[in-house]
Amino acid sequence: MNKIKQSSYDLIIVGAGSGGCSAAIEACKKGLTVCLIDRKPKELIGKKVCGDLIGQAHIKFLENKMRLKYPKDKIECIINQTETINTKNKKSYLSYEKGYMLNRHTFGQFFLAHTKKLGVTIIDNQKVIAPIIKNDFLIGVILKDNDSGNETKIYSKIVIDSSGAISALREKVKIKGTYLENKIKKSDFAVSLRQIRTLKKGLDFTHAKLILSEKYAKSGYIWIFPYSKTKVNVGIGVPIKGKVPNLNNALEAFIKDNKIFDNSKIIDSGGGIIPLRRPLDSMVSNGFMVVGDTASQVNPITGGGIGQSILAGYIAADVAYKAIKKNDFSQEGLWEYNLKFIKFNEYSQKKGDDTKYYNGTLQANLDVVKQFYQSSSEEELEYISNNYLNDDIFKNLSIKGQFSISSKLKIKIIIAIIKKPKIFLKLFNMAIKIKKISKLYKNYPKTPKEFPKWKNKIDKEYQHINKLLN
């Protein structure tokens, strides 16, 4: 059993993943007293089912903003490009966003070691079972020791929940007059299965592959991310819509049909659930903020979220520090967190590098693209692929959430529209909606008072998107 030496802190953080540790490190650097809680034993923190791929921009963010240099010898593989393959017509599209394959457990332990070094109080092997709410403010949490079953109360000025997609607190913190989005629709989640395999035959590629295939993963995708020539992270993700296929059978069928996996061995396997949607419309309440998967800060196209959670944790810690300094832990006092994540526009790039960190506006745009993809049949996607898409257009859609038409393609597209008007009407509706969503997010409310009006507009837009695309 953990001996809890202190019962009150400036900041409690639930979940010691990348977002929680990022917030803990930054808050501690600013002089706050921080308690970091995780349900796992310390030695297992960081061990998580994941694609294990992080963008170069987020590693740069660690180095340039947080002054944390992740050891180069701990990077398993450098990914220079991602190939997205449509199995129907065998077409593939390349994007050149650089990334790194991580050992997720090693990366998590690296983060955790830094929190300990800075003086963060770490409480492991304890589950947060309830919030403590007083006078419409979250003022602490109740813990339950996994071994003894003993319960303990810990108090703080602010609580950050970074406990994951199935959150410890988000659905329980319901405070009158605040706008935190507590509940996420089932249809906004995807289920995934990931295997780490050693290969008998060496790979002839060192780039990431995303495979779109109705045969194996309807409305979802399969990924192959290499750690080395003989070791890969392979998995499947599909949205929770209608009947969900048996992921184990689907992944095994794919592996059986691909010779690179002949005589390969599974060295690790596991499943998970991922929120694939725009970020929560509001991520704060009185004395409370949510970070990472808890806040749906995940790329809706790829399901990637390591970098976004690091960024969000950093922002949340800064906002918490300012709020504590002003002695204002209200929804209004924490509202800057919403604004900063939605509009984050800092860069860490050399001249000519097109990689941005990430922000909520981009994520909302990608959510529209995701809905277009999920609502389209394999035949429709094949037709668009054959008549419209190239590497640049695909990159703009799948990475930037932007839709553009070059002058060279205009005549070809007009012919395609005449042949298949319904498909291209859907495509242009998507383009129009991306612009509208971008405009709404650029005008995200500066105060909670303006939020209900904005929320009404964004809900109507997404209802209309669903109607148009489906």
Look at the block and give the residue holding tokens 């509940």: 183
Confidence band, pLDDT 50/70/90 cuts, at residue 400:
low
Closest CA to 437 of 468, 407, 414, 413: 468
Q: Is residue 350 part of a domain?
A: no
Q: Are residues 267 and 291 located together in one domain of the fold? A: no
Q: Is residue 99 part of a domain?
A: no
Q: Are residues 288 and 379 located together in one domain of the fold? A: no
| Domain end (from 275, 294, 310) | 275
Q: Is residue 282 part of a domain?
A: yes
Q: Is the pTM of this model over 0.95?
A: no
**pLDDT, position 347:** 39
| Domain end (from 275, 298, 333) | 275
CATH number, domain containing residue 260: 3.30.9.10
CATH number, domain containing residue 331: 3.50.50.60
Outline where DSSP puts E strands in 64-150. 75-79, 82-86, 91-95, 99-102, 121-123, 126-134, 137-145
Q: Are residues 47 and 154 located together in one domain of the fold? A: yes
Q: Are residues 271 and 296 located together in one domain of the fold? A: no
Is it the case that residue 291 has pLDDT exceeding 90? yes
Domain of 392 in residue numbering reads as: 361-469
**pLDDT, position 344:** 74
Q: Are residues 21 and 167 located together in one domain of the fold? A: yes
Is it the case that residue 384 has pLDDT exceeding 80? no
Question: Among 109-123, 314-328, 412-426, 438-452, where is mean pLDDT lowest?
Answer: 412-426
The set of residues, in sequence order, having a beta carbon less than 8 Å from that of 410 and lying 6+ positions away, is: none
Pick the residue with more confidence: 184 or 390? 184
Q: Are residues 287 and 271 located together in one domain of the fold? A: no
Q: Are residues 426 and 331 located together in one domain of the fold? A: no
Taking residues 420-428, what's their average pLDDT?
A: 76
Outline where DSSP puts E strands in 323-462. none
Taking residues 91-109, what's their average pLDDT?
A: 85
> Average model confidence (pLDDT) for the chain?
88
Q: Is residue 80 part of a domain?
A: no
- Domains contained in the chain, number: 3
Confidence band, pLDDT 50/70/90 cuts, at residue 176:
very high
Taking residues 141-151, what's their average pLDDT?
A: 95
Q: Are residues 403 and 456 located together in one domain of the fold? A: yes
Is it the case that residue 424 has pLDDT exceeding 80? no
In sequence order, the β-bridge partners of residue 353 are none
- Asked if residue 387 lies in contact with residue 412, where contact means CB atoms within 8 angstroms, the answer is yes
Q: Are residues 69 and 49 located together in one domain of the fold? A: yes
Taking residues 81-109, what's their average pLDDT?
A: 82
Q: How far, in Å, CA of 26 to CA of 276, rounded?
A: 27
| Best mean pLDDT range from 21-30, 337-346, 425-434 | 21-30
**pLDDT, position 1:** 46
Q: Are residues 373 and 448 located together in one domain of the fold? A: yes
Is it the case that residue 350 has pLDDT exceeding 60? no
Q: Is residue 368 part of a domain?
A: yes
401: left (phi over 0), alpha (psi -120 to 50) or beta: left
